[in-house]
Structure formats: C-alpha cells, structure tokens
Structure 1
Amino acid sequence: MKKSFIITLILTSLISLNSCTDLTENVLDEASATGLTDKQAADGNIAPVYARLPDLFTHTNYFAIQEISTDEAILPYRGGTDWGDNGIYIALHQHTHTSTDPNIRNTWLVLAQGISRAVTALNTLPTIKDSNAKIYIAEARGMRAYYNMLMLDLFGLVFVKEDAEAVSQILRGEQALEYVKNELLAVEPDLLTTVGPGRLTKGAVWGLLARLYLNAAVYRDRFATQFTFKPEDMDKVVEYSDKIISSNQYQLSKDYFSIFNDNNHDNKELIFAVDQRAELNGHNRLAYFSISGDQFPLPAFPAANGTDGPAITPDFYRTWVNAYAPNDPAGVDPRFYKKNMTIPADSCMAASDIVMDRGILRGQQYGLLRVNGAFVRCGNNYRVGKLFYVTRNRPTLPVSFPEQVDFSVAGSNYNTGYRVLKYEFGKKSQSGRNLGDADIAIVRLADVYLMRAEAKLRKGNDAASALADVNTVRASRTSGAPALTSMNLDLLLRERGFELYWEMVRRSDLVRFGKYEGTWTEKTNADKLKRVFPIPQTAIDGASNLPGYLKQNEGY
C-alpha cells in the first residue's frame, strides 16, 4: 500500500511540478512505476512541497493582498469594464474586504495545501532509503514552517500537524510564534548551502528567522496601540543577518533590475526564491499585470501584452519625489527606472533591440505597433512608435501614464497611474501570463541589510551602524543613489519602499511600522482589526462539524 501511495503521489504531482534545483522530474507510466528507484520516490515527495509556490506568488493571490491593500498599489475599475470583479480590489485598497474575498480565499487555500503537502512528505520520506531523504525531510519541515509563517502573518494563526490523518492543532499569538521559530531552528542544521535559491537552505532559514524575529512584536500582540520590540528579538535579527552577510555566499547586485531578469536564478543576491526556470508552473503575471494592454514587449508573440492592472499610488510616488527634489528620481536612484530603449517617432527596429524600460513607467509610452493582430513590419524590422489604446477600442486615447489614479471615473481610466515593470517580461511568454522564467524573490540580501538596520534602530543604540547598512545597499548599485547622512525609522521605512517595492512585503512593513491605519489615495479606514485578514468563510464552513475549531478573526 505504501509503495502504491508513493507512486500515485508522484504521478499526480510531478505533472504540475515547478522545477527545484537538482530535483529531476520523472513522469512515470504504469510500466515504469514498478521499477521506481528510491531517488525517484524521494524526489517525488519533496517536489510537490515546493510546487504551489508559483501559484501563491501570483498577481491575484499573495501580491494582491500584500500590495493592493497598501499605499504602494491601487487597482481601479479600469474604464468601467475591467478589474471590477465585484469591487474586491477597491475593497482591498480601502480595507473593507470581507471573508468572501476570492483572493484572500485562494491565498489561504494555497498555503493550506502547502502545509498539507509538507505533512504528506514528512510522513513518507522516512520510509525511503535514499541518501537525500534526511535533507528532504528538513526541507519539507522547513517549508511547512514557512507556509505557517505566512499564515501567521496574514491570518494570525498556524496549523500544527504531524500525522496526515489527524486534525490540525491551531495556535495563535506567542504560541504560534514559538512554533514557527522552533521548527526553523530544528531544520537549519540539516539543510544544505549549495542548492541555489529555489530550495530551502541554511541561508534561507537565517533570512526567515531574521524576518520572524523582526515581526515578533506584531505576532505577540497584533492589535497593540504600540508594539514592543524586545531587545533580545532585535539581537536575533542582527545575529541571523550577520550569518548571511558574513557567509560571503551572497552579493548585492550592481545592476538592480538584473535581480528580476528572466535569467536571474544564479543572481547572487537571491537567498530564497520561487524557482520558475521550468516551463511548467512558471508564470509571467508579475510582469504583465501592471503594464498597458497595448504594450507588447515581444516581437515574436503578438498576443503577449499587459492588462492595465494596478498602478502605484500618487502617495508612494511622492515619497520618491520628496526624497530627491528638485531632481527627478529617475536620474538619481537606479532603483526607480532603467531606460532600455530610445525610440524616435515611427522608427524601425530590429527585434533584438526592442527591450522594454523597467521600473516605474511614466508619461507617453512607445513600443511595437500592432494592426489587426499583427505587428507592423518594415522589411525584417518592426515599426515602433507612440502607443494608443487600440486594444480597448479607444484608439485616440494615448498610452500615456499620468500620476493621478483613484476610484473616480476619470481616475479609473485605462491609462491612469504610473505603472511598474520590475520583473522582466518573460521572453517565452506567448500570452503575457504564462511561461515566466524569472525567479520571484522571497528573501534577498538587500532586505537582510535593511532588516539588520531596522533592528539596530529599534534597539536605539546604533543609528550610525544602521545608516551604514542602508548606505551599503544604496551604493552597491551601478551609479548608486547618493549616501544618506542620517537614519531614523521613518527614513528606514522609506528606504524599504525604494528597495523592495512590488515585492510583496509592504503590508507587513506598514503593520510593523504602525502605518497600516494611515490614509492614502481614497483609503481612510483606520480599523486596527484589519491588520489581519479574515479567515475565508468557506474554510469556516468546512470546519463546521468541529464546533469552535476555526474561529473567525475579530472584526469580520
């Protein structure tokens, strides 16, 4: 029975597997299943534990609830016809979301499935006689802790489960925090350092522990008027950050946007990331989500375009302007914008020269011109020029992004708001949505420096060292941003925004800094109970046969 179970698991999971470093995908048929090796069985049990990460880090799951709920991103009802979705994105931004929100529900489901798959692997791997089994057990246990860490951050609880057939125990507050911490500490000795960012390594666990300790005050007392950051917690943030930095295994990238290129798997700034190299579950949605439906980045694929999704808020944009006035931030900070293509009006360009600009996109956009579903050619080259909203049947509306974006009719037009193209548009993406090869950063070295700086500031006795950490990050980029001369928590939060925008950490940052109840764009809700999301109603209904087992979060 056990062997049959293992074979079934491999057959059903590997088809949807997103490749993990050194884990070979073997799709086995009935004939070959009887000859299953221990290595194939071990690989087939750990791989599904990672396989849902690409689904978690999509535009309408983790990204939506971590970014659109903050002062960084806003998604209006575009043109009155697109992204309405029964008002869920407006509600997320205004903090009026409910327990029936599908993005919240889907994020919960992916996390729950990740925990379940980890438990299944932990129940099976000890029976497999493969040399990698001990490492895989540590990875599965660590990934269970990571999924639970996200559950704790988003929903205020964790699920403790050892036996796949048992009912999970639910922990909250201090108990939940201690559980995640102890699980990560338990697996660290057995993890490797040499398997790349797509698998859980010692460095990844050090980064997650630093993040956990940094947010410990929030997790202990979620709705506190003022969080108490214990000095011993901040010492641990520094300790684990030091481990990463002093390991010399990771490096700050000189080219900021190369961290987000579609060939970034070997970028030494990545410590832990969603591995998207395989053409299975890899997606391109973090690239296509924000840009215009009339921006077509790939000459080879006339159906690969943007979707006119979220823009950055004027509030977030103004943090850049205020930091660098009277200069344009694009000319001062290499993290704001990278110009890749200069297009005179109505030019002809070779396909290899057509590369979209990156970062925060403002004003009139230029690119490939498309007529009747095909790009306009000039011999072997392509016609490029000023873009209009042809795909939206508004051919007189220029694809020109203004700063203003809000939920008014004018502010919700297709073109409103500055857009973000941080992750490179995948070169294989035939639809704009699929086949993204860029690994998605979960923990990277710049974040580690900034976490260490924040911990030093919160201890209140090492502002000079915190300033040095921040300036190390700023100076590391080619034509780096000018050094700062002072440092405090407000500047540190601003710096985290400049470095980590669009990377799905903003909500957690705002909560920790006491800013999540603030006002931005059209959001005025100051209810501190919104610091956690509601448990999906479907989950509560599904547990209804266990009275009192799954209690809804306060305020929902």
Structure 2
Amino acid sequence: MRHIKFLSIFAIAVMVAFTACINDLDVEPIDPNEATATNVFSDELSYKRALARVYATYAISGQRGGGGGLPDIEGIDEGFGNYLRLYWNLQQLPTDETVMAWDDASIKDFHWHTWSPNDVFIGAMYSRIFYAITLANEFIRTSEDAMGSATGDFLEDLRLYQAESRFLRAFSYWHAIDMFGNVSFVTDEDPIGAFFPQRITRADLFDYVEQELIDLEGDLAAPGTNEYARVDRVAAWMLLSKLYLNAEVYIGEAKYTEALTYLNKVINEGGYSIDPNYIRMFRVDNDQSPEIIFPISFNAQNTQQYGGMTFITNASRGGNMLPNGVGAWGGIRAIKELVEIFGFNESDFTTEDPVFNAREDHRAQFFFDPESWSWEVENVGLFTHGIGVYKFTNLRSDGEPDPMAEGDFASTDFPMFRLGDAYLMYAEAVLRGGQGGSRAIALQLVNELRDRAFGNTNHRITDSELTLDFILDERARELYWEAHRRTDLIRFGKLTGGDYIWTWKGNVPEGRSTGAFRDLYPIPVNDLDTNPNLIQNTGYSN
C-alpha cells in the first residue's frame, strides 16, 4: 500500500478511441471544462498524472470512487467489471484452488467448465484488456507528440513514461495471448477513427509482445530506481520469462532456454530478494516487501471500488472465520484438493484450532471448523462447504489494523510478479531442458523457499525429488490464490481432460474430464458480431 491518488485525466479521449469500431470519432465535448487529451496536458506534471491513470486501470473500475458511476466499461456491474477481479476469477475459479458460492450471472460456470461465448464475465475481461491497451495507446500517442518540444529532464521523463505504458500494453496483450489466443490488434500507430481492428494470431501476437519487451528493456528504469508500484526493467524480464515458459502452449515451440536467460537476469541482476516474512507479501504493509517486483497498488481511501483486493479480501471471509480487517462477504474458498497438496487432512483441523496451528508449512493459511463446515463441497452455493482461505487480509503483517482503514475497502497491494515465482520458474525451465541453468541451482532456489516456509532446513528436498510433478505442487503451495493456477495447469496439461480431476470439475461433485478446447476462453459474441475480422476459437459455437 502507498498513499496514491489515481487521477482520471483523459478518460473521455480513451472512451472515444475504445469505441472506434462503431462511432464517428472526430468530435470534441461541448463543455470546454471537460477533460480530453487535447486540453488536459497543461503542464509537465499532468503527464505523470495521466500515466497514473494507465496504471490505475488494473485497480479501479471507473471514474468515481466507491463504484459510484461512470464505469470504464459497460454491460456489467462496475464492481464485477474491475480488471483484477475479472482476471483473478478467470485464473482461479476454473482450477483446483478455488470455488465460488455466489449466484451472480454465470460465475459458477467457471469452476464447472461450462462457460459459453456469451458469458458476461468473459466479455468483460476481453473488454477490460482492450480498454487497458487503448488507454496505453492514447498515452503513447500523446507523449510522443509532446516529445517534439520537450527538453532536458522533462524529455527524459516522457521517454520513461512512454516505456512504462508500452510495458503495460504488452502486459495486457500477454493476458490476451494467455486467455483468448487470436484477438483484435491495435497499437498507437492505428488511426483514431471508425475502423474494424485486424485479427492477429496467437503466434504473431507472441512475436509482437516478445519484440516489444526486448526493444523497451533499455528504456525502462534500471532495477531499483523507479518509484514504488511503477515497473522497471526487471518487470520486463519477468514478463519475457513468463512468455517463454509458456511458449509451447502459445506457439507450439519450446523456449525454456530463453526463459532461463531472463530468469537469470531477474534473480541475479534484479536487486530483489526473498522476503523472510512470507505473510507480509499479502498484508497491508506489503509495500515494504523486498520480493514484490510488480504490484497492483490499492489504498482504502484513494482506490475505493468493489473489485481488486477489496473483492479478494472480503469475499474470502465468511462463516466464523478469523477477522481480516474488512467485511465478510462469504464468496470464495478452497476445495480439499488444494489443502491436501499441503499434506493436510480434515482431521488436522479442530473446532478448538480451526487454523491448524501445529502446521509446519506456514504458507498454509486455511480455516476449517469441523463443527460448522463441510470438508466435501456438497453444495457449491454454501460458503462453509469447503475450506476457508485467509492468505490475503487487510491487516498489517504484525496483526495490527490498516492505518488507512475505511469500511470494507482494502489497502493490501496485489503481488502480480514476485521473486519466489521466478525461483520456481527457473527450476521448471531447467527440468524441461532449458540451457543456461543447472539442477544444482534449481534445487538451491526451491529449498530456499522451503526453508522460509517451514522456518528451518528440515524440509529440504533432494535432487531425486526435484521433478515436474513436484514443481506443480510446490507452485500451488507457494503461489496459491495469486492468479497463476489456470496458466500453470494448462502448461502441465492438467486443466482440462481427465488426467487430473477435482471436486465439481465438469459440474459433477466427484469431478470429470472436460474438453481440451477450454484451455482457451471463447472470443465474446458481442465482439464477433461487431468485428467481422474475428473468428471464434475452436470448440465454441455462438
């Protein structure tokens, strides 16, 4: 958390660009006081404020606080339409880590693997991705225009701001690659006007994002020199690593050696270190963590909305769970498969000790009261069927309340990229045959995480235990609920199909095989209807 107030600077200009497929865009608001890209950049500071709005699109849902109207996208409740909330749900709910109790629209379809192309949440995620891309495009155009007359420090600032916007555009395009595959493609070089964006294939978009990140690497701030919550070149190295680690899924070509090239940079040149306090990374004071490379920043007073971390912290508490600094909405919880990856059983939890304080792995932040909860999810709609998760809270790491507390709004930042993930990615890339790393270093990195998890060296693994199956389970133990699991399971060939079954997968209590085409989400029907250049993903019918 930092005391940041995100400003709406050029939202109207962006909204105009965002509707470029259907509207005449050569218009100006009648009200001369209305903020647009043509009149809002009155001084040098205004460009930094505009950059803050590009970042803020991942955290906030609209132009007013508290979900109070003027949403960024239409067709969905403003709180539901928050970028991070949508991304988290689409990454977590189809997996063995999370299940949702609520009946909002089609939200249960994600855990059941029964979603369709007209799903409101899928449509909103697609719109959110391209709203963020359009916002970045507009800032890149505007900053490029200003560079013609800028000099000195202001020119250097503009170059840095533009590089950060290009990173954020690449970041959202990575989400498009991962979730949707073949999508619309627009950049700052496209004209402002009515046109149908061209379709880009997954492979071509992979190449574009890869080249963008390589090209802008030197333009981003050096490691450790940028302000908190703004990216530096380590974030670009991390995103390249993720792109390469998943390349076999995205383009059918292994790039584990390339992944190791950039993971070595992240680990050895990034300047980040493993946080000795695992819990701190998911608490209000996680802005003090030395491990978080790229956070999505929140503040209970200045980023008030019902998505993002406000959603994650409130929705994960219900029943008789422990206080976590916000409310108790009773929505998301774990299923037994996640908890059993830690080696825990129902009998480990008691009414007297529902958090299982005797656990040795302190990453396991679970709650289960056998007197009032059910280990088996007999009814998906009952929050107390399953296991509570209190990994994310709105408390400080010392248990004290958020000093900026206000209602149910959260101040905990979301750790989008962190070093512990890079350690496990390194080990996986080595095991998959990548060159430029070693099993010895991979084993050392994994055991460093396990030493932190257990508080001692008694639970280190041996070289023979370092397998891909172990890595998948260790990623669940280390990174659960951090919005990685869907991508991980796809990379390991286990999200769909019958090799790995979990509770309610396929919409039956015992779980069943689901179609491999669900490794990609469908292109939303509304976008197919309005853009003739798009083609539906295989397996889906409109």
TM-score by length of 1: 0.74
Which letter maps to 1:49?
V
1:291 matched to 2:291: no
1:120 matched to 2:138: yes
Q: Is the 8 A contact 2:58 2:84 kept in 1?
A: no
Distance between the aligned counterparts of 2:358 and 2:92, measured in 1? 22
1:298 is displaced (CA, Å) by 7.1
1:213 is displaced (CA, Å) by 0.3
Which letter maps to 2:424?
L
**Counterparts in 2 of 1:430 and 1:101: CA distance versus 1, 3 Å:** farther
Q: Is the 8 A contact 1:257 1:335 kept in 2?
A: yes
What is aligned with 1:354? Answer: none
Distance between the aligned counterparts of 1:213 and 1:313, measured in 2? 31
1:174 aligned to 198, 203, 216, which one? 203
Distance between the aligned counterparts of 2:301 and 2:120, measured in 1? 27
Alignment of 1:152-163 (within 5 A): 152-158=177-183, 159-161=185-187, 162-163=189-190
Which letter maps to 2:477?
F
What stretches of structure 1 of length at least 5 have no aligned partner?
A: 1-6, 15-27, 77-82, 222-227, 337-358, 365-397
What is aligned with 2:107? Answer: 89
1:102 is displaced (CA, Å) by 1.9
1:510 is displaced (CA, Å) by 0.1
Deviates more, 1:122-131 or 1:183-192: 122-131
1:53 matched to 2:58: yes
1:168 is displaced (CA, Å) by 3.2
1:59 is displaced (CA, Å) by 7.1
**Counterparts in 2 of 1:330 and 1:241: CA distance versus 1, 3 Å:** farther
1:35 is displaced (CA, Å) by 9.9
Paired residues in the alignment total: 451
1:496 matched to 2:475: yes
For 1:111, what is the secondary structure of its paired residue?
A: helix
1:478 is displaced (CA, Å) by 6.6
Q: List per-residue Cα deviations over 1:126-154 (Å, max 9, x = no partner).
A: 12223311111111111111110001101
Distance between the aligned counterparts of 1:211 and 1:501, measured in 2? 17
Distance between the aligned counterparts of 1:330 and 1:297, measured in 2? 20
Q: Is the 8 A contact 2:318 2:329 kept in 1?
A: yes
TM-score by length of 2: 0.76
What is aligned with 1:106? Answer: 124
Alignment of 1:140-289 (within 5 A): 140-158=165-183, 159-161=185-187, 162-165=189-192, 167-192=196-221, 193=223, 194-221=225-252, 230=254, 233-247=255-269, 249-277=271-299, 279-281=301-303, 283-289=309-315
1:541 is displaced (CA, Å) by 2.3
> Once superposed, what is the RMSD of the aligned Cα atoms?
3.1
1:307 matched to 2:329: yes
Distance between the aligned counterparts of 1:191 and 1:480, measured in 2? 38
Q: List per-residue Cα deviations over 1:35-73 (Å, max 9, x = no partner).
A: 965422321332222121114776751111110111111
Q: Which has the larger radius of gyration?
A: 1
Distance between the aligned counterparts of 1:164 and 1:216, measured in 2? 31
1:404 matched to 2:376: yes
What is aligned with 1:536? Answer: 524
Distance between the aligned counterparts of 2:212 and 2:417, measured in 1? 18
2:91 aligned to 36, 58, 66, which one? 66
Q: Is the 8 A contact 1:118 1:140 kept in 2?
A: yes
**Counterparts in 2 of 1:8 and 1:146: CA distance versus 1, 3 Å:** closer
1:163 is displaced (CA, Å) by 2.5
Q: Considering fraction of residues, name the structure with more strand.
A: 1
Which letter maps to 2:274?
L
Quote the sequence identity (%): 29
Deviates more, 1:212-221 or 1:310-319: 310-319
**Counterparts in 2 of 1:72 and 1:208: CA distance versus 1, 3 Å:** same
**Counterparts in 2 of 1:278 and 1:10: CA distance versus 1, 3 Å:** farther
1:513 is displaced (CA, Å) by 0.5
Q: List per-residue Cα deviations over 1:302-357 (Å, max 9, x = no partner).
A: xx52111122111122111269x999795211111xxxxxxxxxxxxxxxxxxxxx
For 1:89, what is the secondary structure of its paired residue?
A: coil
1:442 aligned to 408, 413, 416, which one? 416
Distance between the aligned counterparts of 1:191 and 1:277, measured in 2? 25
**Counterparts in 2 of 1:480 and 1:307: CA distance versus 1, 3 Å:** farther
